[in-house]
Chain A
Amino acid sequence: MSENILRIENATMQFGGVVAVDNLNLEINQGEIVALIGPNGAGKTTAFNVVTGVYQPTNGAVWFQGKKIVENHPQGKMKKLYKGQHAGEYNQVLAPTPDVITKLGMARTFQNIRLWKSQTVFDNVLIAKHCRVTHGFLSATFRTNRKEEAEQRADVERLLGEVGLLDVKDELATSLPYGKQRRLEIARALATEPKLLLLDEPAAGMNPQETNELTAFIGEIRDKFNLTVFLIEHHMDLVMDISDRIYVLDFGKLIAQGTPAEIQNDQRVIDAYLGVAEDA
């Protein structure tokens, strides 16, 4: 119980009549790298959004570090529309906003890079530190928070050094090459001091060499920052290389889970990716 850092419990996310995530159950243990894969539209990003508070699940719960952080049950119109399972089991509503979840120690990156465009590399990371600020705005305005500010700046400097972006720290975030923007997005997430890092297609749009670098980078930061990593990815090389365990989603349903070797030989997974001949 105490070992798993994240547990998604019977989570169902239904938009109108569409069940995007259907009764998803998964567990991630401390220190693991776990991948969530599946064909396009399988509901991977939706699952991420449920975990990070962007969406409120229609039914089910999410546990983080042994504490229930999200819970919901079908309400209003959804009571009639709800097609999922476990309808009666949840009765509480826990719906923290994404910023609250981030402060708990969960940080994410986005499928399409979402850096703050008008800010420098340094400021992008520094702003992510804002969620750890303890001083109020008056204190910040009149600079009585000097010590904290200096500490944060030093932290950012060190972090940028560790991820290899220190030499471009004064450049605009958007002027970086694509691979480095991805890296910066991860650095920014690290600045919020997470325990669990969620990466939404970190290798999207990368060439094989960049992908290899990223694979090494993810392993490196996991060890250095004592992280647990949960990632969505389509690059199978990366996924098979790096993951301790893999979950496979198809049409919102979990169809397989296991080690990379098990997943590679799983007939249901192969069918989901390649399609299966329909019997007449």
Chain B
Amino acid sequence: MTMTRKKTIFTAAVLVILLAACIAVDLTLPSYHIVVTVIKKATVYSLVAVSMNLLNGFTGLFSLGQAGFMLLGAYSYGVLTIPVAKRAGVYQYFDGGAIQFSIPEIFSGFMGETVGTVVGMLTALLIGGLLAALMAYLIGLPVLRLKSDYLAIATLGFAEILRAFFQWNALGPITNGSNLLKSYPTFSHATPYVVMVGLMIAMILLLINSTYGRAFKAIRDDEVAAEAMGINLAHHKRMAFIISSFFAGIGGGMMAMYMGTIAAAPFKSTLTYEILLIVVIGGIGSITGSILASFLYIFSAEWLLRGLDSGKFLFIEAPAVFKNGFRMVVLSMIIMVIVLFFRKGIMGDKELPDLLDRRSGKRGKEAAK
């Protein structure tokens, strides 16, 4: 019992410190500062990585459709939030587009400018998530009958088809074809991202530790036994798939927020692989692992290793070696090292508070001697 309490205190302390640090960053640094950018991008990646972990790590369904669901969330967010006045400019090739309303403006109408905009933005995010969930339901009907690699290929294919579909000119009045969606409202500070993602990850954690989460893990460990013990495989797999996609959709919407413009191009399968990489590095089946890995990955890719592309890394200046593209070479090598030496990722299937267990376990053993 005391162990559980210790863990709770530890977790709460870590969360409070992180949140305080984040608010401090927002108050002291301008919103275009690299630290703010890293926090925003890493939190969004955390959410998507955790949602992917729910499916791949906890339910054992190897799905690679994440980018597709993110795309859906991103477009829903953009299409629903661009101010009406700016639509003519954004949809300049499609006569101002087909949709002539903006959810934040509707809410502003009766809730006041600031509150209305924020509520509208959140609603648009939610709608993006729900659309992704709906799509997951439809895709899941045929696709979830497949197993392992076949499921991965089918979901990957779906994501690519969806991307091509969104670039289709005939859908231009809604998706703006292959042109950018822009001018939609965004959060410029990092704190809203951290708070939103924190809440959603907390929800996923609660789900994983509930009876349904345990059923997911049973399906992962042994499908035959799970079914024989009365767990409806089709129903639970569909549930995991839909929930994962819902959060991926919201993650996509937040990614749109963070990027400032939406195009179909960034939602290629490369994005899914990046997320998969984060999940693997963090540890398949570890939520805190996914979060840690997201921050590490984004921090390295966006900031720490940037210098490798532009001639100066740490204190070494070597413009001849550190040329464009060198960053990716180093990053790939780091990843190989991780894969070779940390087979189970940084965290394995443990969570951060579990580290307390190990230490006290050792102490316990010593005491026993």
Residues of A within 8 A of B (CB): 52, 54, 97-100, 102-103, 107-108, 110, 114-119, 123, 126-133, 135, 137, 140-143, 145, 149, 152, 188-189, 191-192
- Chain B residues with Cβ below 8 Å from A102 are 228-230
B283 to chain A, nearest CB (A): 13
Contacts of B233 in A (CB 8 A): 97, 99
Chain A contact residues: over half helix, strand or loop, or mixed?
helix
Contact A117 B211 (CB under 8 A): no
Identify the 7 closest CB pairs spanning chains A and B, nearest first.
A131-B230, A102-B230, A140-B210, A116-B221, A114-B225, A128-B229, A141-B207
User: Given A103-B230, A192-B230, are A145 and B349 also a contact pair (CB < 8 Å)?
Assistant: no
In the complex, are the beta carbons of B230 and A128 less than 8 A apart? yes
Q: Which residue of B lies closest to A138 (CB)?
A: B207
Q: Of B44-52, B64-72, B164-172, B212-220, which binds chain A?
A: B212-220
B residues in contact with A99, CB < 8 Å: 227-233
Residues of chain A within 8 A of B212, CB atoms compared: 130, 137, 140-141
- Name the A residues within 8 Å of B349 (CB-CB): 118
How far is the CB of B217 from the nearest CB of chain A, in Å? 7
Q: Can you report 10 residue pairs joining A to B where beta carbons are below 8 Å apart?
A: A99-B231, A99-B233, A115-B222, A116-B222, A118-B217, A119-B217, A130-B214, A131-B231, A140-B212, A189-B229
Residues of B near A54 (CB, < 8 A) are 224, 228
- Cβ–Cβ < 8 Å partners of B231 in chain A: 99, 127, 130-131
In the complex, the answer to whether A98 meets B217 with C-beta atoms within 8 Å is: no
Find the B residue at minimum CB distance from A132.
B230
Please determine whether B228 and A116 come into contact, CB atoms closer than 8 angstroms: no
Contact A145 B211 (CB under 8 A): yes
Contact A126:B232 (CB < 8 A) given known A110-B225, A115-B222, A141-B203: no
CA distance A127 to B217 in the complex (A): 9
B227 touches A117 (CB 8 A): no
Instruction: Give residues of chain B (19-49) contacting chain A, Cβ–Cβ below 8 Å.
Output: none
A152 to B222, CA, bound (A): 22
Given contacts A133-B211, A137-B210, contact A116 B230 (CB under 8 A): no
Contact call B229/A142, Cβ cutoff below 8 A: no
In the complex, chain A residues whose CB is within 8 Å of the CB of B226: 116, 127
Q: Nearest B residue to A128 by beta-carbon distance?
A: B229
Chain B residues touching A, majority SS: helix
Residue B239 CB within 8 A of the other chain: yes
Contact B211 A116 (CB under 8 A): no
Known A-B contacts A118-B217, A118-B221, A126-B214; the reply to A137 vs B239 at CB < 8 A is yes
Known: A119-B214, A127-B226. 5 other contacts (CB 8 A): A97-B233, A116-B226, A140-B210, A141-B210, A192-B230
Closest Cβ–Cβ distance, residue A116 to chain B (whole Å): 4
Does residue B111 face the partner (Cβ distance < 8 Å to A)? Answer: no
**B206 contacts A by Cβ under 8 Å:** yes
Give Cα A116–Cα B203 distance, bound, in whole angstroms. Answer: 25
CB of A175, distance to nearest CB on chain B (Å):
14
Chain A residue nearest to B285 in the complex (CB) = A118
A190: min CB distance to chain B, Å = 11
Is the Cβ of A114 less than 8 Å from the Cβ of B222?
yes
- Interfacial chain B residues near A188, Cβ < 8 Å: 229
Contacts of B214 in A (CB 8 A): 119, 123, 126-127, 130
Q: Assess the A98–B218 pair: CB atoms within 8 A.
A: no
Min CB gap A264→B, angstroms: 32
Task: Name which residue of chain B comes closest to A113, CB basis.
Answer: B225
Q: Which of B347-368 contact A (CB under 8 A)?
A: 349
Contact check, A115 vs B217: say whether CB atoms are below 8 A apart: no
A135 to B211 Cα, complex, angstroms: 10
Q: Are B206 and A142 in contact (CB under 8 A)?
A: yes
Complex contact A143–B206 (CB within 8 A): yes
A131 to B207, CA, bound (A): 17
Cα–Cα distance between A119 and B222 once the two chains are bound (Å) = 11
